Amino acid sequence: MEHEVKRAEIKARMVTGTYMLQSNISRYNQQEVPATCQICKDEDETLNHMLLKCAAFTGERAAFTGKLTQVLGSRNSGKWDTILNNNLLLQLILDCTHPDVTVIIGDEQRLLSDTRKSHTSLLPRDPYAES
């Protein structure tokens, strides 16, 4: 329960752009702090990295990615391009009922709404929560 509250909080911060990513922290500190993702250390921690690429969340992402492919078609379909070219993937993940998203995926958003749980499971744990 407490965990769910935490996730809702992270989600709210991501939507409002106030989630402190390592890449932002680094920028504000004149690069004295590395922008690298502190979890996988593979590349800079950006929202894109965290939600789509970070190896640490591969498992949590799998169910959702399956649904996404169902809704958008294969990776090289036009819908994927439209979503990616308009930077809407993050919007889709955070809120698939947003008009910018539904205009592209139409009724298929029902498929995603059905999996609210996988939406939230896609959101990372707060890496700063432990300290």
10 part of the interface to Zn ion, by CB under 5 A: no
Complex with Zn ion: residue 61 or 101, whichever CB lies closer:
61
- The answer to whether the beta carbons of residues 44 and 22 sit under 8 Å apart is yes
Complex with Zn ion: residue 86 or 128, whichever CB lies closer:
128
40 part of the interface to Zn ion, by CB under 5 A: yes
Complex with Zn ion: residue 54 or 105, whichever CB lies closer:
54
52 part of the interface to Zn ion, by CB under 5 A: no
Phi then psi dihedrals of residue 44, to 5 deg? -60, 140
Complex with Zn ion: residue 40 or 111, whichever CB lies closer:
40
Q: Single out the residue of 10, 15, 39, 52 in contact with Zn ion (rule: CB under 5 A).
A: 39
Give the span between the Cα atoms of 40 and 105, in whole angstroms.
32
Residue among 14, 93, 100 at smallest CA distance from 61: 93
Location of structure tokens 């990295």: 49
54 part of the interface to Zn ion, by CB under 5 A: yes
- The answer to whether the beta carbons of residues 118 and 68 sit under 8 Å apart is no
Min CB(121)–Zn ion separation in Å: 17
37 part of the interface to Zn ion, by CB under 5 A: yes
- The answer to whether the beta carbons of residues 69 and 111 sit under 8 Å apart is no
Location of structure tokens 């935490």: 6
Min CB(56)–Zn ion separation in Å: 6
Question: Which residues contact Zn ion (rule: CB under 5 A)?
Answer: 37, 39-40, 54
